[in-house]
Structure 1
């Protein structure tokens, strides 16, 4: 039997990297175990999330399905939305794109540079049952959660926000002073978060300048997380730590977040990158790079998908 090869693109937004499939004309369904094999950075392609573009509905140009590298499905990914927005705008020649997600319809907008894309992430969800949490809190700017002894907690009182996925933000003096690789899994799975949570350490180091490190549920430590950047910016503004527009400095680079006062929507602007094109044998999960970049590692054309 001939190999069932399917083309893909490898993309990233500030280092938060994705495997992108186009399944708008030919459906693609992979088991969680297969996604985990492809997502493995030692033996597979390696990525934070797998993105599958599916047929449009409800006014969208395409539907974006999102799986973490462990095979679990999630509803939102800000950096992936910017990458998909770039592909769709390149494909249509328009300066905007509407992207369907499980978290709702998201609007991507072109900027002066092809690589830089703005996405309207909609309104943050701030009530405890919208995030969701397992018990009620009147004020989600700081909730009762701690790691370590009560008399001297290592981390405590995070702000919680949903940007289509739940986030907990711990304000610290130094984001490198805590081992997020060790603390992240414990906090992600804390009983307070029935759907698990993304965990961020955040430090305001200048006017509207915030340094952030993220443990992403189902993916682990990541160079960047768009929804985490949005959640941190919203939490900082709610707590008067920053204004309505701030720069979030992630390990992969800076991203600009505006929490628009007029309608409460969160706008995220940052770089995207196409790393290479490739193809996967769906039977064996063997993969290879394709095109000019196969030998030279050059970025693939937008027209690959």
Structure 2
């Protein structure tokens, strides 16, 4: 049995497991040895809300102080300078270099399960080491690094170097595209329909979306200009330091909160001269404080994280959904 922790940041929920528990059993060691071939289907199985545990994403944590041999598996920038590392996977099995809500959960998990009690520490990520400032479970600050504005690197197809307040060629909408380790398409002040898809107090984030946003988002994600898909943000400015945000995530659909989306929105707002560099972003799941520093060009984000429950799952049964018959026989032999 593999222990897991269910966590959430503003309603964005995750299953968190540790590599130490995986390496304690044969099936777990086999999974890690063949990680590149199996991670996607494994994440989908774990995150399935009907047949798995259920989550928006899967987080795998490693304590390099305890398992230094796993540094090679991660192969992240600056991995040698971090005591703790993570792998983040979307619920649909796709990779993402960053997830802000997930990273805050990872920071809290490291404190509770790895005994990382320093108020400042770093977590190795695919974007490099991220500095964590821990004050309490309700106030965790993470450094998301510098935003990527180069259009080819976001990526978004355009002849321009950057995609800033540019036409989408869809419903007369304009957008700014930013990567925070994952691609974002930020649209300001598109008038929302008064009609929602469902009750305003629903736990389903899609039900709380204006109906036109819910219609636009999947169509925007399917545009040819986004070769790797895109997260879509609809931002309604309340003041230069406050914005209301609806996020339709790549791989998840409507979500209660997306921290990298909040960060991308502040960056886009500064580029379009609509927002200050320090902004409170109100999402369906709660609020995040975001700052894009002029000093080092990094985006820092502060918000809560919470452990909701824990349990155990039978890894061999979960692997039944991610392996061929031949692979299962190899593990059992």
For the aligned pair, the TM-score class normalised by the smaller chain equals 0.7 to 0.9
Q: How does 1:60-75 map to 2 (within 5 A)?
A: 60-75=82-97
Q: Is the 8 A contact 1:12 1:273 kept in 2?
A: yes
**After TM superposition, where is structure 1 displaced by more than 6 Å over at least 4 residues in a row?**
none
Q: Could you list the runs of 5+ residues in structure 1 that have no partner in the other structure?
A: 287-305
User: Please, which moves more after superposition, 48-57 or 190-199?
Assistant: 48-57
Secondary structure, aligned partner of 1:218: coil
Aligned residue in 2 for 1:13: 9
Q: Is the 8 A contact 2:184 2:261 kept in 1?
A: yes
Aligned counterpart for 1:125 among listed residues 148, 152, 176:
148
Higher helix fraction (1 or 2): 2
Aligned residue in 2 for 1:42: 50
Structure 2 distance, partners of 1:285, 1:11, is 20
| 1:159 lines up with 2:173 in the alignment | no
Secondary structure, aligned partner of 1:236: helix
Aligned residue in 2 for 1:294: none
Q: Is the 8 A contact 1:13 1:82 kept in 2?
A: yes
- Post-superposition offset of 1:254: 0.5
Query: What number of residue pairs does the alignment pair up?
Result: 275
Query: Residues 194 and 173 (structure 1 numbering): CA distance in 2 closer, same or farther, change over 3 Å?
Result: closer
Q: Is the 8 A contact 1:137 1:143 kept in 2?
A: no
Structure 2 distance, partners of 1:54, 1:137, is 40
- Post-superposition offset of 1:139: 4.0
TM-score normalised according to structure 1 size: 0.84
Query: Residues 34 and 180 (structure 1 numbering): CA distance in 2 closer, same or farther, change over 3 Å?
Result: farther
1:49-96 per-residue CA deviation (whole Å, 9 max, x = no partner) reads 101113543211222111111111211101111111122234221112
- Let me know the Cα RMSD of the aligned residues: 2.0
Q: Could you list the runs of 5+ residues in structure 2 that have no partner in the other structure?
A: 24-28, 65-78, 193-208, 320-333
Structure 2 distance, partners of 1:53, 1:182, is 36
Aligned residue in 2 for 1:297: none
Higher strand fraction (1 or 2): 1
